[in-house]
Amino acid sequence: MTQEEEIKTAQKILSDFLSLQQMRCTAERDKIVECIYTYNGHFTPDTIYELMKKSFRVSRGTVYNTFEVLVKCNLIVQHHFLNNRVEYEKTTANATHHHRICTKCGEVVEFSDLKIKRAIKNRTFTTFDVDYQTIYLYGICKKCKRKYGLK
């Protein structure tokens, strides 16, 4: 899927979700989806707000509210990293990588693994549908190992 198709698909999912809730799909919400789906990596509502306000009139409140809706319709996923760090990313990105977290410095590194991907895909449940996936591995990074003199 091209990026443009990905944006269109995401906007469709959002508008379908909103009409089910009898909520309006506004130009702002569509623009937020576009901004998120062209952004690579982790972000916060403030990241998107700062990016958008350069070319589009939007309030911080609208961005925050829209994030809640986007989580509910599975377009973005909320990550809780160490030290109460909350970040988001596209659910489509989650199909491709996992996260390695250092418990000393909190550094987050993304990694992918084809074997894990296949294993998850092959794991089906009769009473549960998988929408997206992410694995968090906790441990100590090389820098911290050296810093704390750990073997």
For the chain, the farthest-separated pair of C-alpha atoms sits apart, in whole angstroms, at 58
Q: How far is the CB of 91 from Zn ion (least distance, A)?
A: 11
How far is the C-alpha of 101 from the C-alpha of 141, rounded, in Å?
8
Pick 49 or 88: Cβ nearer Zn ion: 88
Q: How far is the CB of 93 from Zn ion (least distance, A)?
A: 6
Q: Is 40 buried (19+), middle (13-18) or exposed (0-12) by CB count in 10 A?
A: exposed
Pick 23 or 137: Cβ nearer Zn ion: 137
Q: Find residue 36's DSSP bridge partners.
A: none
Q: Which residues sit at the interface with Zn ion, rule CB under 5 A? A: 89, 102, 104-105, 110, 141, 144
Q: How far is the CB of 110 from Zn ion (least distance, A)?
A: 5
How far is the C-alpha of 87 from the C-alpha of 48, rounded, in Å?
12
Pick 15 or 47: Cβ nearer Zn ion: 47
